[in-house]
Amino acid sequence: MTRSSTTTTPRVPAASETAATALAPHRHHHGDELIRPGRPSASYAQLGRQLVTTFPQAVVKLDPRHVWRSPVMFVVWVGSVVTTVQAVADPSWFAWAVTVWLWATVLFANMAEAVAEGRGKAQAATLRATRKTTTAVRRLPDGSVETVAASDLTIGDVVVVRPNEVIPGDGDVIEGMATVDESAITGESAPVIRESGGDRSAVTGGTTVLSDGIAVRITTRPGETFIDRMIALVEGASRQKTPNEIALTILLTVLTIIFLLAVMAMQPMAIYSGQAQPPVVLVALLVCLIPTTIGALLSAIGIAGMDRLVQHNVLATSGRAVEAAGDVSTLLLDKTGTITYGNRRAAQLLAAPGLGNEEITRAAYVSSLADETPEGRSIVELAAAALDVPSRETLDRLPRAGATFVQFTAATRMSGADLPDGTLYRKGAADSVARWVTGHGGQMPSGVLTEVDGIATSGATPLAVAVKEPGRAPRVLGVIHLKDVVKPGMKERFAQLRAMGIRTVMITGDNPLTARSIAAEAGVDDYLAEATPEDKMALIKREQEGGRLVAMTGDGTNDAPALAQSDVGVAMNTGTMAAKEAANMVDLDSDPTKLIDVVSIGKQLLITRGALTTFSIANDIAKYFAIIPAMFVVLFPGLDALNIMGLASPRSAITSAVIFNALIIIALIPLSLRGVRYRAAGSTALLRRNIWIYGLGGIVAPFIGIKLLDVVVSHLPGMM
């Protein structure tokens, strides 16, 4: 059989283009750079303005009821109070200088958190501006309607929404189909299709119907809508500390207690040696020894991680989910609507032996004009792209010329057209067309049957095309190859996941032949065919029993149990309300491979926290050489050998170390908000890189910074 084809890649039907816009690979990926924020990072000038703006909030956060949440910074706060009392009781330039910079250390830590929270509050203000006081047309049980305030709606109410009206609350479409403007939520200008039934029935309160009309069953109470939850999330109100963050806080607390005991033990020794140290010196030593840098930035790092997700149009219900994404090793993806477009599309028009492309193309076009199914529309578009304009215009005149069209029905599984001259065109399932052909005195060529079997074996769907001209037996012109089309760029995206050490598994209810074909085309590592919700749950539990963290993307109600069981569940915003409620993340762009961004941001969060912890601890090591010799050089002159920085005096050394300890927090705020750049690489390579950059940098920076500050501080009164 001649395998001539008009094209191999079908054009996306116009009716689906708007929905497909959001499903294309995410625009923030370029090459192998996996982290590109949705908007440019704030410049230092912008950061300066943010610091000034958040200063009042940082002062408010000096309240001990807030500071005690960070044990490290609470110790600094207590030390600041102690030095303030001493500076008042026994004033000196040295005491006041140390006191002022200790308070600055606490303020700078509060500013880091306030700046991170400020970004979320700005996004929340934008979301609040999208909420409008709306009315709703509620349908009563007897079929009549009444106009009520949206705030009066309850779960189960059915509302009717017409063109240019705002949807009053979250719900599911139960009647009709409409295009909806969701730009207030997703930021995308292209409208999306929402229709009753299936996985695209969920609508969000505050979005606007552009065309047609729908009936919506409300599924949330006022004040608990998706936008309300978004506002709470981006404000940070729902952020809970993650397990790793809690573990790191415990480590920092233990180190703080150890250094506190060590400093307390120094005073009796100093008194015994006749060199009792004033409280301000002991407090300065303690603050410089404990890991204040990472203690000050820890909260900002967590808040900024969720903020980066929001920049990528992903909302997480907790920081735990973001962090878990960084450790994901298995990714499960639903095939329909996720890896593929979700409905069969015409991929090829294969002519029968001895026939050219023109005849089957014309027949496929004419016989599909009355087929309003997605498959029928895709055949029309595929054939139209191959026909020249005059031919297509001629065929479009058929209704006006008196042609009779045969609608596609589930019973006949065929569509077609009867022309005025007696020519009959039919297109449909191969067995239905075969019965029509034999019923009119024709027969199916063996070559066509072989082609039909081959397409079916590959997991695709074959449709036969036939024509009966006046006075002649019917002829089968060829076969239309329908298949569920894989979305563009999927193979490349899965290759990126593979480079990150993540195994991908496609889940589908299709038969194994279709599943294998789609899996090979998409480039996934494995697949689960004929999967039921129970099968998905069992697969996730098997993976988790091996100690692996599992992530899953889905959009249907049947995906909800698996989304709830997985460690990271990402629901598509175009999916059902059940899927959104079960997941711990919602992708507003409905890009099924957005999980690459989520995993990258999760890994970036972990790396940023580890890098700054390494820098902080290395930083403290360098400060030992500034303060310890300065405290006891009079008592033990041999310690002067450790004064390798050549600091001018004990007081200038201590003051310079305290000032540096405060300023380094401000210097690292941009990095904590932006995050350390992540590229797909092994954990060993990343660890080695971070140790060299942040470990070595943490040792070198204080030597340079403290020495430069000492040059200035040593010239101030009372520092010699």
Instruction: Give the bridge partners for 175, in sequence order.
Output: 215
237 is in an annotated binding site: no
CB 621 within 8 A of CB 218: no
| Rounded distance between C-alpha atoms, residue 506 and residue 565, angstroms | 17
Q: Give one DSSP letter per residue of 307-374, joined into a string.
A: HHHHHTTEEES-HHHHHHHTTEEEEEEEIIIIIEEEEEEEEEEEEPTT--HHHHHHHHHHHHTT--SH
200 HSE (CA, 13 A, CB side): 19
412 is in an annotated binding site: yes
Give mean pLDDT, residues 678-698: 76
Residue for token digits 């506002």? 231
Average pLDDT, the chain: 78
Give the pLDDT score at 15.
30
> 387: Cβ–Cβ under 8 A, 6 or more apart, which residues?
361, 362, 365, 395
65 is in an annotated binding site: no
Closest CA to 533 of 575, 514, 506, 561: 561
| Tokens at 618, concatenated | 């290395």
pLDDT band of 183, cuts 50, 70, 90: low
| Rounded distance between C-alpha atoms, residue 317 and residue 326, angstroms | 16
| Tokens at 688, concatenated | 């080695």
What DSSP designation does 393 have?
Answer: H
Give the pLDDT score at 415.
87
**Element (DSSP H or E) covering residue 448:** helix 446-457
Give mean pLDDT, residues 258-277: 83
| Tokens at 288, concatenated | 């410089």
- Cα-based angle 508, 510, 514 (whole degrees, multiple of 5): 110
Residue for token digits 């029309």? 380
More confident residue, 212 or 42: 212
More confident residue, 453 or 465: 465
Q: Indicate whether 77 pLDDT > 90.
A: yes
Tens-place pLDDT, residues 1-17: 433 333 333 333 333 33
567 is in an annotated binding site: no
Give the pLDDT score at 129.
57
Annotated catalytic sites, by residue? Answer: 334
Give the pLDDT score at 490.
82
CB 593 within 8 A of CB 552: no
559 is in an annotated binding site: yes
Question: What does pTM read for this prediction?
Answer: 0.62
What DSSP designation does 12 have?
Answer: P
Tens-place pLDDT, residues 624-678: 777 777 767 766 777 777 777 777 788 888 888 899 999 999 889 888 888 887 7
Give Cα 129 distance to the centre of its chain: 23
199 is in an annotated binding site: no
Give the pLDDT score at 233.
55
Give the pLDDT score at 583.
85
pLDDT band of 124, cuts 50, 70, 90: low
Tens-place pLDDT, residues 533-548: 788 888 998 888 877 8
103-107, 183-187, 197-201, 311-315: least confidently modelled range: 183-187
Tell me which amino acid residue 554 is: G
Give the pLDDT score at 510.
72
| Rounded distance between C-alpha atoms, residue 705 and residue 609, angstroms | 23
15-29, 398-412, 449-463, 546-560: least confidently modelled range: 15-29
- How many angstroms separate the Cα of 678 from the Cα of each of 300, 326, 367? 18, 11, 53
408 is in an annotated binding site: yes
**Longest Cα pair distance anywhere in the chain, in angstroms?**
124
Residue for token digits 């029905």? 409
What are the respective helix, strand and coil percentages of the chain, to the nearest 5?
55, 15, 30
211-215, 381-385, 557-561, 635-639: least confidently modelled range: 635-639
| Tokens at 445, concatenated | 């060529």
pLDDT band of 390, cuts 50, 70, 90: low
